[in-house]
Chain A
């Protein structure tokens, strides 16, 4: 489903050439829940950006759901991102000027679903995450845990092929964090493919498999016993 081979990403300034990722090879299969861990500066965010088609890479190949993403134009990348990937961000990244309904609606509109279909999907997801009573609330009127649940609902509303979670509990208290992790585990159990980027080993331990990054390279793989 996600197949990266020899991926390299180099940031070049006038004076400095930084290898954010070097020769990264990684495969994530359907139904996997994989944590990508590593210290700050290890290349986790760059990996996330490349995996999520938010950023390009300089070397290697990347097949997403069998499609080679190299050379896609902006429109094709945006479409692929919209259809295949659900993002869960550390800072929730809800749009502050939009209420819960409209926030979940954002990727669905870009997908081009008709209004009735969008409404059905939004209401289904909000009900799934216990947010029906908050449908007209704005992000500033929600707790951190509620905001992250809205973000997960938004990520899932378009039925993506996999979820890409960036430190999904980073801005949450322990109770909310535990709740969000439970949600992710539940999603995984129901068959959703999840890639979670985190610097927290304890969080990574909740994922059945993990990949360790350091200095832009994969330095280890863990596979938990099923």
Chain B
């Protein structure tokens, strides 16, 4: 290996090499931290909500003048549930991931000044667990007789609730889900008993740090603008969406059907920012890698052109085309290696600063070596063309005087 002479020769012409090494270091710093952020955003946008989103959609009925909302809602639900292809349906006060809804402070009843946890409040009936396909991990579902109507001006909450596992863990950190069932809590100032725990049901607010804290209460909201969440049999959702929209509009003329969205669409809209940010950062990463690759290519091309005579001399002295190729690959390896080592230090330091300053996600342990390998491979790829060009230099170049 001729690393020593190549390194010493590089030191004699270090300006270009240093510039490329610094560019590689900068690229690695940005790419690694951008990758962490992309990963964070993509993970956030892809995290499960707890319900079967693939087959579920929702819509809202908006009546100008409803005489008896209870009748309308019951009739609507009955009609929807009887529609072929519908697995189940329920009325909800708000839709998961929709970024709008109700919340209240939840705390345990015992103890002095217990911590209060903000939780989303879902008013549902006894069909909620089946409709959303939630996983009940302890306790029981609501009975049909638990479900009561809630008037718009009414306050307070029912005494039987189902909460999520995450909220249960916050409230009773030492209890298992099974032992949490039956415990007493306060919803605002309303006392309630936990009758069941579901594995997951995210709150509507995708940016909330308490997104996993939700409470289901057995209530149906008496409103002229009810929201229905409908789960179709697998593969039936897209057919049913316009069909049920038309059916509801037909059943009670004078009302509008609004906000007809699949849960996939709800998720897409809710995580637009995260998806957009990930795409922009991804674009920046690609451009940066491209620019770095072109920089290496440019430097290598210039280096080959500048050293045509020198390559000819080396060939005359016994270098095979493979030796020439290896020379340029090793030279590039030295430049990129110094760049990636500097870049790894810079990336980690920058990441630590970001973590401390703004709760930025940490680079995974494998991120740094992976990034280093990618940039070294990029360097080798970029230098391949010029190195092959150098291999084409005839050894007879050594005897040319011009």
Task: Indicate whether A and B interact.
Answer: yes
Residues of B contacting A: mostly = helix
B143 within 8 A of A: no
Q: A75-B322, A95-B310, A154-B317 are in contact. Are A55 and B396 (CB under 8 A)?
A: yes
| Total CB contacts across the A-B interface at under 8 A | 87
For chain B, residues 372 to 395, give those with C-beta under 8 angstroms from any C-beta of chain A.
Answer: 394-395
For chain B, residues 21 to 40, give those with C-beta under 8 angstroms from any C-beta of chain A.
Answer: none
Find out whether the CB atom of B8 lies under 8 angstroms from the CB atom of A110: no
B400 CB to nearest chain A CB (Å):
8
Find out whether the CB atom of A111 lies under 8 angstroms from the CB atom of B9: no
A14 within 8 A of B: no
Closest B residue by C-beta to A197: B399
- Tally of A interface residues using CB under 8 Å: 34
Closest B residue by C-beta to A48: B399
A97 within 8 A of B: yes
A79 within 8 A of B: yes
In the bound assembly, the distance between CA atoms of A107 and B313 in angstroms comes to 10
In the bound assembly, the distance between CA atoms of A97 and B88 in angstroms comes to 79
A32 within 8 A of B: no
- Tally of B interface residues using CB under 8 Å: 26
In the bound assembly, the distance between CA atoms of A98 and B4 in angstroms comes to 11
In the bound assembly, the distance between CA atoms of A154 and B321 in angstroms comes to 21
Contact of A45 among B5, B317, B399 (CB under 8 A): B399
For chain A, residues 116 to 138, give those with C-beta under 8 angstroms from any C-beta of chain B.
Answer: 138
Find out whether the CB atom of A93 lies under 8 angstroms from the CB atom of B398: yes
Of A22-30, A82-90, A141-149, A202-210, the segment with at least 4 beta carbons within 8 Å of chain B is A82-90
Find out whether the CB atom of B398 lies under 8 angstroms from the CB atom of A54: yes
Q: A55-B396, A89-B399, A105-B5 are in contact. Are A110 and B316 (CB under 8 A)?
A: no
What are 29 pairs between A and B in contact, CB < 8 Å?
Answer: A49-B396, A49-B399, A54-B315, A54-B398, A55-B395, A74-B320, A78-B318, A78-B320, A78-B323, A79-B318, A81-B317, A81-B318, A82-B317, A82-B318, A83-B318, A87-B316, A87-B398, A89-B313, A90-B401, A91-B401, A93-B309, A95-B9, A95-B310, A98-B8, A98-B9, A99-B8, A105-B5, A107-B317, A110-B317
- 19 additional A-B residue pairs with CB within 8 Å, beyond A93-B316, A102-B9: A45-B399, A49-B396, A54-B316, A55-B395, A75-B320, A75-B322, A78-B315, A78-B321, A79-B320, A81-B395, A87-B316, A87-B398, A89-B398, A91-B401, A93-B309, A93-B313, A102-B8, A109-B5, A110-B318
